[in-house]
Amino acid sequence: MRTVMMGTGHFAEPTFEALLASSHPVVGLVTQPDRTIGHERASTRQTGRTMKSIALEHGVPVLKPESINTPEGVAALKELRPDLLVVAAYGQILSGEVLEAAPLGGINVHASLLPKYRGAAPVAWAIYHGEKQTGVTIIKMTTGLDAGDMLAQKAIDIGPEETAGELEARLAPLGAKLALQVIDQIAAGTVQGVKQDKTQVTKAPKLKKENGLIDWSRTAEQVCNQVRAMQPWPTAYTYRHTPGQSPTRLIITKAALAHLSVSRVPRPGRLMSLPTVGYHLLVETGDGRAVQILQLQPEGKRRMTPVEYLNGHPLRDNGFLGPVK
């Protein structure tokens, strides 16, 4: 069975490598055009060995169209004469013409427990919303967004301190294993699909930089989830407001629940430094609890610990964190 891999970056690499090691010939790779590092990252997709380098190591032809859905893109795909398309984090929605280029259509390796978190950033949104489990689903591709029949699914627990990048790296080899099982079933004619429950559908749209802006009126747990969900991109951020000074942007790269109720009347965003109880830098949230900042990065500076930050930027009365209005 002739296969064409379609994917970009770290999450797709294990599936591509597993396919190359299988008995199913890989006759081509379709991947995104080369990007400048950090450009248009929705997750860890532009990192890793790169799909292109893996393909070149194995002598696999590479297509890098800006859009595979153009007549030229479809024609180039048809020239590879694939029987099946294997898609993982490709980054483009495929048209019906693209799916019809392979007699067996396509399967997609999706990093969520569908029907929850359909879309481009399922790992980040699962963490953002406080899910305790996620997983990988292999689906039969349709023109609807992640709407096809489920061919296989496997769940895993989300670590309490796990970031989106770390979780995606754990899901990638699981997706590769499930994809190969399904491909073997397709070849044997034994694959069976299950319809998705439309009433359970939730969305996981592509991340934008503004998704990282912290709203301190949310609960402490929700803020910590956001910080984890926005790593490695776009990162969580806020602004420090100090009387008599312009607001300064702070990237919050690591945070934890302080397990400390600090106020009966919450004052979201209030900054505190309480070394006597073991915490160096706390921020009050909307539920009256505190978030402990463990690592931060002032604009234009390197990442640093709270102690390092406070040495150069001591707290002052009435200082707080919040958006720029």
Which of 176, 200, 224 is at the close of a domain? 200
Position 35 scores a pLDDT of: 67
What's the CATH code of the domain at 166? 3.40.50.170
Over its length of 325 residues, how does the chain's per-residue pLDDT go in tens digits? 999 999 998 999 999 999 999 999 999 999 999 865 544 444 444 456 799 999 999 999 999 999 999 999 999 999 999 999 999 999 999 999 999 999 999 999 999 999 999 999 999 999 999 999 999 999 999 999 999 999 999 999 999 999 999 999 999 999 999 999 999 999 999 999 999 999 999 999 999 999 999 999 999 999 999 999 999 999 999 999 998 899 999 999 999 998 776 667 889 999 987 665 445 789 999 998 999 999 999 999 999 999 899 888 888 777 899 999 8
What amino acid occupies position 47?
T
Do 245 and 311 fall within a single domain?
yes
Identify whether residues 49 and 75 lie together within a single domain: yes
Prediction pTM value? 0.93
Q: Assign residue 256 a region (left: φ > 0; alpha: ψ between -120 and 50; beta: otherwise).
A: beta
Same-domain check for residues 230 and 195:
no
State whether 218 and 177 are in the same domain.
no
CA-to-CA distance for 42 and 223, rounded, in angstroms? 20
Question: Within 2-128, where are the H helices?
Answer: 13-20, 51-57, 71-79, 96-99, 122-128
Interatomic CA distance for residues 212 and 60, integer angstroms: 38
- pLDDT number for residue 263: 60
Same domain, 196 and 213: no
CB-CB contact of 256 with 283 (8 Å): no
Residues 109 and 223 in one domain: no
Pair (220, 143) in one structural domain: no
From 122, 121, 127, 116, select the one nearest 226 (Cα to Cα): 127
Helix spans in the chain (H):
13-20, 51-57, 71-79, 96-99, 122-128, 164-188, 220-229, 306-312
Q: Same structural domain for residues 66 and 190?
A: yes
Listed residues 200, 235, 256: the one ending a domain: 200
Same domain membership, residue 85 and residue 13: yes
Q: What is the CATH number of the domain that holds 233?
A: 3.10.25.10
Question: Residue 101: beta bridge partners?
Answer: none
219 and 195 co-located in one domain: no
Residue 261's pLDDT is what?
67
Domain that holds residue 84: 3-200
- Same domain membership, residue 149 and residue 267: no
Instruction: Quote the tokens at residue 71.
Output: 């007549």
For the chain, how many structural domains are there in total? 2
Same domain, 194 and 303: no
Last residue of a domain, one of 200, 235, 250: 200
